[in-house]
Each structure stands twice: as structure tokens, then as C-alpha cells.
Structure 1
Amino acid sequence: MCPDTSPQKTVLFVLGCPQVPVQTSIALYLISRFKSAGIIPVIAGNKAANTLLLVADPDRHYIGEIMDLDRAVAQITEKKRDFDQCFVFIHNDAGISYAATMAVISKARIYTLVYGEHEEDLVSQITFPCTKIAAKAVHNPLPLKKAIDEVAPWAA
């Protein structure tokens, strides 16, 4: 039997402003689940989001590659890199803009993770093809974790 030589699957996590506390814990949860499934996680966030993850995991047990969000967008746009799946964390209009951008420039299967106080309104604004995962989660990540677990995207 020949060894599997297909490229390893990758997943991109697009993190915006970490204003809503659940973002960091859900990002670490997803990174852990995907790594356990043998899928390589890459984090693309703004400076504050990336710093929160680096401080939370200083020995990088969970996080691996981490980069500036604008650099990731540029690499995908220039066709230098792409991913199999992309999770965009959304708690405001800027998150929707990033998700729509990813839906246009990337071949990845797009998942929108919508959370926060205005989650229903934000979900109604998403008009591009994607898998929507949403929960009214601000401080407690469990409602969003439950919604994610129902989809189990690491098993896809």
C-alpha cells in the first residue's frame, strides 16, 4: 500500500477586534479540535487578537502559524496561498466585510462564526454562500461552542 502523498488540509481563522471576550477561547477551542483532526490551523488576526492568543498560549501548544490579517488577505489575493476551510469570527459589520472578501478571493469553504449581542441582525446581513454558525454569546462561550459542535467542521 502506498503512503498518502496528498497535501495536508489547512484551515484559516480570521480574527478581528477581540472586543467580545468569547473570541479568544473559541479560537483556541477550534484550533485544538482541528489540530487533533490532523488539519493545520493558521491564524490571521489584527495585532490585538494575535497578541491575546500568543499570551494565552506562550509555549504554542495550540497555536502554530500566526500572521497579520492584511498579510493573509494579500497572500490569498495574489494566489500565493489558500486554504481548505476558512472561519471568520464576526461580531460587527467589519467581520461581515472580511467574510465576504474571503468568499470572493478564496477557494476555501467559508464558515461564519457570528456572536455577540447583535448576532441575529448580523446573520441577516450575510448574503453570500457560507455555512453560518451563530449564537448569542458575549462572555460565555458555551452557546457558540454548542453551535459549532453541532456542525463539527473538523470532521468534514
Structure 2
Amino acid sequence: MEPDTIAQSPKTALLVLGCPQVPVQTSIALYLVSRLKSAGITPVIAGNKAANTLMVVADPDRHYIGEVMDLDRAVAQITEKKRDFDRCFVFIHNDAGISYAATMGAISKAKLYVLVYGEHQEDLVQQITFPCTKIAAKAVHNPLPLKKAIDEVAPWAA
């Protein structure tokens, strides 16, 4: 008789994209997707139509991005217990991003990471009082400060 083996399901990560008015969001999302995939973690992108369209146009052959879905649909699937993720990365450059992060923290079992960037990132970080790993940098046009902050945390290795 063969011993019972428990098949582990692949690790997954949800990337919650905000309004793409801050230029670094798309490049950092693509960078994070690449790092997650290299670590064997399947990323799913959820955002509004503009954010999702920027991702799809930036990677038309889908070398990096895979599944892309409407953010409201992702929230509904998690709320209805139809789906969940191991990690959740919420991109924050305004108050709406904080609200989405708080929502994800409340409805999902995922380890929550918040990526806070933009001109007012210090003020936004101060408003985040729920449990999460904060990754922050004053990045608007240049993604390198936020990339460096992400690399220091290495959330794909956690």
C-alpha cells in the first residue's frame, strides 16, 4: 500500500492595481509579476479597466502577465469564498488604495502586502493601521526606489 500523499496546490498571488495615474504602477506590477513567476507563484492581476488595459498592452504576448480580471469581480469571488490567494499585493497611491487594502485584509486569508508610492506616500503609510507588510517609496516616475524597497522585503521568498 502506497503512503498517502498530499498534493500541494500551487502558490498564488493577487495584485490589486489602483487607478494608473502614477506612472510607476505598471512597470512595478510587471516587475513583481516576473519575480513571483520566477519563484513559482502564479500571479493574478485585478484592477479597473484602465489599469488592466495598460498591463495587457505592455505585455501583448503575455510573457509575464497571465490572468487579468476586473477588481470588483476579484472582490466578489473572494467574498463569496469561490477563490482566495496566498499573497495579496495592493498598490496604493491614494485613499482609495487604502480602502481596497483594508477590504482585502478583511476578506482574504492572503498574506497582505501594501505597496505605497507617489508624492504623498509618507502620509498614506501613516493612515494604514491594519495588519500588513508595508513597502513604501517616494516613487512617481522612477520605479527604482520602489523596486529597491520590494527587493529588500523579497515577498516572493516569504
Instruction: Give the TM-score taking structure 1 as reference length.
Output: 0.98
1:118 paired residue among 109, 117, 120: 120
Task: Report the counterpart of residue 73 of structure 1 in structure 2.
Answer: 75
Distance in 1, matches of 2:47 and 2:76, equals 13
Distance in 2, matches of 1:149 and 1:74, equals 31
Displacement of 1:5 in angstroms is 2.0
Which amino acid in the other structure matches residue 8 of structure 1?
P
Q: Secondary structure at the match of 2:156?
A: helix
Q: Secondary structure at the match of 1:155?
A: coil
1:89 paired residue among 71, 88, 91: 91
Task: Report the counterpart of residue 64 of structure 1 in structure 2.
Answer: 66
Which has the larger Rg?
2
Q: Given the superposition, is the C-alpha separation of residues 68 and 121 from structure 1 closer, same or farther in structure 2, using an over 3 Å criterion?
A: same
Task: Report the counterpart of residue 17 of structure 1 in structure 2.
Answer: 19
Q: CA RMSD in A?
A: 1.3
Displacement of 1:3 in angstroms is 7.9
Task: Report the counterpart of residue 107 of structure 1 in structure 2.
Answer: 109
Displacement of 1:4 in angstroms is 7.2
Q: Which runs of 5+ in 2 are unaligned?
A: none
Distance in 2, matches of 1:67 and 1:111, equals 19
1:27-66 CA distance string (max 9 Å, x none) = 0000000000100000000000000000000000000000
Distance in 1, matches of 2:149 and 2:109, equals 24
Distance in 2, matches of 1:135 and 1:93, equals 16
Distance in 2, matches of 1:3 and 1:151, equals 33
Equivalences for 1:137-152 in 2 at 5 Å?
Answer: 137-152=139-154
Displacement of 1:2 in angstroms is 9.0
Task: Report the counterpart of residue 132 of structure 2 in structure 1.
Answer: 130
- How many residues align? The count is 156
Q: Secondary structure at the match of 2:113?
A: strand
Distance in 2, matches of 1:6 and 1:127, equals 33
Which amino acid in the other structure matches residue 95 of structure 1?
G
The percent of aligned pairs where both chains have the same amino acid is 85
Displacement of 1:16 in angstroms is 1.1
